[in-house]
Structures are given as C-alpha cells and as structure tokens.
Amino acid sequence: MIPGIRAVAAAFVLVSGIVGQEAVAVPAHARTVNVFAAASLSGAFQAIGNAFESAHPGLKVELNFAGSSMLVQQIRQGAPADVFASADEANMNRLVERGGIVGVPQLFARNALQIVVSRGNPQHIAGLADLAKPGLTLALCAPSVPCGRYGAEAFGKAGMTAPAASQESDPRAVLTKVAMGEADAGIVYVTDIRAAAGRVEGVEIPESSNVEARYPIAVVKDAPNAAAAAAFVDFVLSPAGQQLLASFGFLPPRVAPSSQARTITKSRQNESTKIEAWSYPSLRDLGLSCFCDPPECLGKDHRGGRHAPSSG
C-alpha cells in the first residue's frame, strides 16, 4: 500500500485483494476508481481494470486515456482523478512539484520506440534516416507528448534533426494516420504496433538510437476515492498486474517497486517536492534488442513488433 493513504470514513466495506495483497478497506460510497492513463496503456489497462474489478467486487474502474501532458492539464484543472499513470517521468514530476501526488510515484513498466509503416512497407523504409526522404508524409507525436519527446531524442541520437511532420496528440493518433494511409510513416511505441498487428507494420529502431520509455504511477492528491486508488496502484504493481502488462508487450521496471532506488527532496519553504533522476542499465543488459512476446521471443518479425534476443 502506498504510504500516506488511510481510509478514515465510516461504514467501510472490506474487499479482498489478489494473491499477495492485503484486504483493502474501501468506504461504502467509494465505488468508482477514476484512472487517468497514457494512451499507450489503453489495451493493457483495460485488461487490468477488468481484472481489478473481478478481484474487488463492488468497485468499478473508469479509464481516461490521453497523452500524458493532456492528462496533467486535466488533473490541474480539477478533473476527478484518483490515479495517474504517465508514459514518462517528466509529466509525473509536473504534478509532484506542485504537491499533486500522494507519496512517491512507482515505476511499473517500460517501453521502446518503433517506426510504424503501412502494410507491405510501400516506401521501403528501413530506418530513421529514411523518414527524411523527400515527399514522405510523416506523422509524429507533438513535442509536449512523451512519444514526441522520445522521438526527438531518437532522431538526435541518430545524428538527425526531426523531419517535418504532423503533430499528433498521442501515439494512437499517429498509428491511425498511418493505418488509414494519411501518412507514410510515424514513430510510436513497440506495444502500439503489436496491438495493431495486421493493420500496420513495424520497422525496428536500433538500440543505439532508441529511447526507453519509463512509466510511473501514483495516487493523485485529494483523490475522491483514495483507498480504492491505492488498491488499484497495488494491483498494477502486483505479480498479476505485471503479468497482464507483459502480455501486451511491456517490460517490467528495472527493479521491484518496493526497492526502487529514488530520493525525494522536499523544501518546507516552498512546499515543493521533486523526484531526483533515477539510473537504469540499458536494454542490452537484459539481453534484448527490444521486446519479446511472452513467454519467449518469437524471432525478428518486425510486422508484429517482435524481436529476438540480442546477440551481444
């Protein structure tokens, strides 16, 4: 359970947790958990939401998916969010620094980038350099969105300036444009292409140019249903939650949530809280060039977003 969350209302209803979780006391009136999650988590969190409801009879999960920056804006404007799951640490820190998060955000998943192209790859795109071809129509996430910032970083690592492109609100919008033929290519997450298998294809971005996306989750300050929100976060971090994320192609955090190395510094003068930088090894340390389909890698089939173990 996240430190600092305590149920204090009367007439509590006890609901059982999943294996490995304690029973969670939830106020009788607190029946809905409003989860604001990055768009790239859509499929995985829909499955997690269903599993959570089955494990906690009487609770209902309401999911709101959008770009992480848009979700931060909604929360700041007073949207009734209980849980925030971001596709990057920068947007989570925007809430942390304003005291908008309870406790310490926990990393719960990782992702990587991949080039999305139309079925059959008619433009014969083989890497990032090909995205600068004259006449190519490119769709990218806007710079304020995690996938847009990650994409710009990938171009920089490849020694390129990001080519001219449409600016989309989230990776789903990028993928939709490519799938509908409105763009020749784009950059999204590996999990997005995997979820859209058969509609689009993926072209691998080598590790030397790729960027690892890290996903933190936390209970929102003044959450309408704080106890239920904490239970949902616990569920995501639990073995069952992690297995569901893996089934959608997400990698687990580098270390177990309970032992994540992080430091919180707090200034009593301005009441601001900031998460200091966390350090992680590279994808190669796991013996992976990108993602594997559980339970084992299925070979380099870029069309499905699959990659074989790295050889070095």
Domain ranges of the chain: 12-110+215-283, 111-211+285-304
Q: Which CATH architecture has domain 111-211+285-304?
A: 3-Layer(aba) Sandwich (3.40)
Contact partners, residue 196, CB within 8 Å, separation at least 6: 116, 175, 179
Indicate whether 278 pLDDT > 70: no
The CA-based dihedral angle spanning residues 240, 241, 246, 252, taken in that order and rounded to the nearest 10 degrees: -110
Q: pLDDT tens digits, residue range 64-121? A: 999 999 999 999 999 999 999 999 999 999 999 999 999 999 999 999 999 999 999 9
pTM: 0.74
Domain 12-110+215-283, CATH 3.40.50.970 — does that match? no
**Do the domains 12-110+215-283 and 111-211+285-304 sit in the same CATH topology, yes or no?**
yes
- What is the rounded CA–CA span in Å between residue 152 and residue 134? 19
Q: pLDDT tens digits, residue range 162-217? A: 999 999 999 999 999 999 999 999 999 999 999 998 999 999 999 999 999 999 99
What's the burial of 244, exposed, middle or buried (CB within 10 Å: 0-12/13-18/19+)?
buried
Query: Which residue shows structure tokens 């989570």?
Result: 92
- What is the rounded CA–CA span in Å between residue 143 and residue 262? 27
